[in-house]
A = this chain, B = another copy of it.
């Protein structure tokens, strides 16, 4: 129920405020708007917008600042993604242009690029088939008493861990265990494996090993690591730029949030098809009250769907950011498609 003019004003308020950080007043708007009306008229319209909860004052006689709802409306109806700057295109092309030997290198590099482009904090998640399955397990004896456990999933994830064992490594025992695992568990999804690991497997393994607990620990460990979605983070330190007046405590909880894989996964939330923007307290987490999160998925055909995200202050230039995220998801998908094509055929 906003008039054309009110939309125009709301758009201008958001744009101005995200650029300057200063509450914007009627006079400044009057000068800047394409239509020619007086500041008094603007004031009336602004009162109407405030009525609807889209903008608000910081104090009784201040200029206006967008409310969360105002940002929401702006993002949903008014914003148009900026096209990339030529310079940004260069950055992407050159950073993503090199040769890579691992998917993870591309994904982790992407987080860095994205944080550089935006000067915010960026997250990337590699393309993932849901319910990836265990496709192989190895135990490689390394030294006198060292063993490496390697676990491979059908989506190409590899998780490994070395551990020390007491007493000599008995090659036959190892092989028996590996055979058992591969017979019983390969082809199952990781949650299924995890379930079996707590039920039948221990009994069976006890036939081959004297002290199975140590092994079970290790295997469970590697397994849960593999089951976890793994995010790459770029530009962590950029968060420091927005810590208003050095509120150390909230900064700390923000950082611990980012470093906990599980937590950040729950914040980023389920992939949806399009680019999504979550603003301030639209996220449940309290530490994120003054931040906005832009997430986007990208598809790599049959190789599944991945995700990229940037986290910056609520007061971010959305049009530019949406432009960057939109363009980057395409570039990344293209790059990965190339990569898979090269190594798969």
The residues of A with any CB-CB pair to B shorter than 8 Å are 101-103, 135-136, 138, 140, 142-146, 148, 150, 152, 156, 158, 160-166, 214, 217-218, 237, 240-241, 243, 245-246, 248, 251-252, 255-256, 342-344
Contact = CB atoms under 8 A, between A and B. Distances in A.
Nearest to A143: B152
A164 B248 contact: no
A102 B148 contact: no
Nearest to A102: B163
Majority SS of interface residues in chain A? mixed
B142 A150 contact: yes
Q: A143, A162, A165: which has the most chain B beta carbons within 10 Å?
A: A162
Nearest to A241: B248
B148 A158 contact: yes
29 contacts: A101-B163, A101-B218, A102-B163, A103-B164, A138-B140, A138-B142, A140-B150, A142-B150, A143-B152, A143-B156, A145-B343, A145-B344, A146-B152, A146-B158, A148-B150, A148-B158, A148-B160, A158-B162, A164-B343, A165-B343, A166-B342, A166-B343, A237-B252, A237-B255, A240-B248, A241-B248, A243-B246, A243-B248, A245-B246
Contacts of A150: 140, 142, 148
A156 B166 contact: no
A340 to B, nearest CB: 9
